[in-house]
Amino acid sequence: MTELEPDAALDRHALVMGVWLALGLIATLLLHYGLGTGGLPAVAAGFAAVLTAFFAHVIVNAVYATTFTRRELALGLVIYLTGLLAVSLAALSSAAFRDHGFVPMAAGLAGSGAVIVIYMIIHFGVRGVFDAFNVIGDFRVDEDDEPSGGGRQ
């Protein structure tokens, strides 16, 4: 994996944003519909959209011969934890969600997390994954947004 030139990093960033924006919008539509009247198939389709975006991101990384940046990993982790928290709070506060929405959402979050972690373990190895997610320890303000180390050492 190579460190990208600034122009290439910008190109990659723009492409990644485009992919996540488009597929994120679709995932939002489907999840919202699924939690309303759509039911399990729509929720499953929503998480499929999220995973499609993730694998599109992986393809972009492959094209640019790089990996996820630390900021991307941090953002992904924050969004995932926020999702977990939101689902937990909704389950505690809403009986309707507990009855109809909790199981598909929890299964979707667990499944998505599992797919992503399994991919990263295959790709980076266990130590690499831990290092990649250890963003608190080395997330310094003056550090450039370099691709995470990862890789089989």
Partner 1 sequence: MTPLLLTTLGVIFAYAVYLATASARQTSAPRDFLDGGLTLPGWGYIFAGMGVVIASLDLESHLLLIAHYGLQYSHVALGLVLAAVAAALVHGRLWTIARMTGIATPGRLLGDYYGSTAIVLYVLLVLMLLALPFSAVLLSETGALVETVTAGAAPAGLVIWGSAFFLALYTIIGGWRGLIYVLAGQSLIVLALLLATTGAAGIAAHGLSFASYGIAVPAGIASDRLPGVIQFTAGLGKSVPQAGLWTTTQIASFALALTGITLSPGFLLLGVSRRTRTGLAFSQVWMMAGVAAGLLLLLGPVLGAELSRSPSLTLEAFLGLIGRLANVDQLFAAGLVVMLVVSQQIAVAFFVVSGASLVTSDLVKRYVLPDLTPAGERLSARIAIALIFIATAVLADVLPLPALLLSSVALSLSAQLLPALLGVCWLPWINRNGVVTGLIAGLLFVVFTEAAGLVAFEAIAIDLPWGRWPLTIHSAAWGLVPNVAFCVIVSLWSRQREAVISRDTPRRLHEGLERWSPVRLGGGATRAAKWSLTLLWVFLALGPGAILGNSLFSRATYGLPGAGGQMPSLLVWQIASWFTGVLLVWWLAYQSRMGVVTGTPLSVSIAPPASPLTTDRRPRWISRLLGRLTLRSGLVEDGARENR
The residues that touch partner 1, with contacts defined as CB under 8 A, are: 6-7, 10-11, 13-15, 17-19, 21-23, 25-26, 28-30, 32-33, 36-38
Cβ-contact 146, 128 below 8 angstroms:
no
Report the residue number, 21 or 89, with the smaller CB distance to partner 1.
Answer: 21
Cβ-contact 123, 57 below 8 angstroms:
no
CB of 138 to partner 1, least distance (A): 24
CB of 118 to partner 1, least distance (A): 26
CB of 134 to partner 1, least distance (A): 27
d(CA 103, CA 136): 31
Q: How many residues does the chain have?
A: 153
Identity of the residue numbered 113: G
CB of 36 to partner 1, least distance (A): 6
Nearest to 113 by CA among 64, 54, 71: 54
Report the residue number, 50 or 129, with the smaller CB distance to partner 1.
Answer: 50
Distance, first Cα to last Cα, the chain: 12
CB of 131 to partner 1, least distance (A): 27
Residues 125, 128, 131, CA angle at the centre, nearest 5°? Answer: 155
Report the residue number, 30 or 105, with the smaller CB distance to partner 1.
Answer: 30
Decide: helix, strand or coil at residue 147.
Answer: strand
Report the residue number, 18 or 113, with the smaller CB distance to partner 1.
Answer: 18
Report the residue number, 13 or 123, with the smaller CB distance to partner 1.
Answer: 13
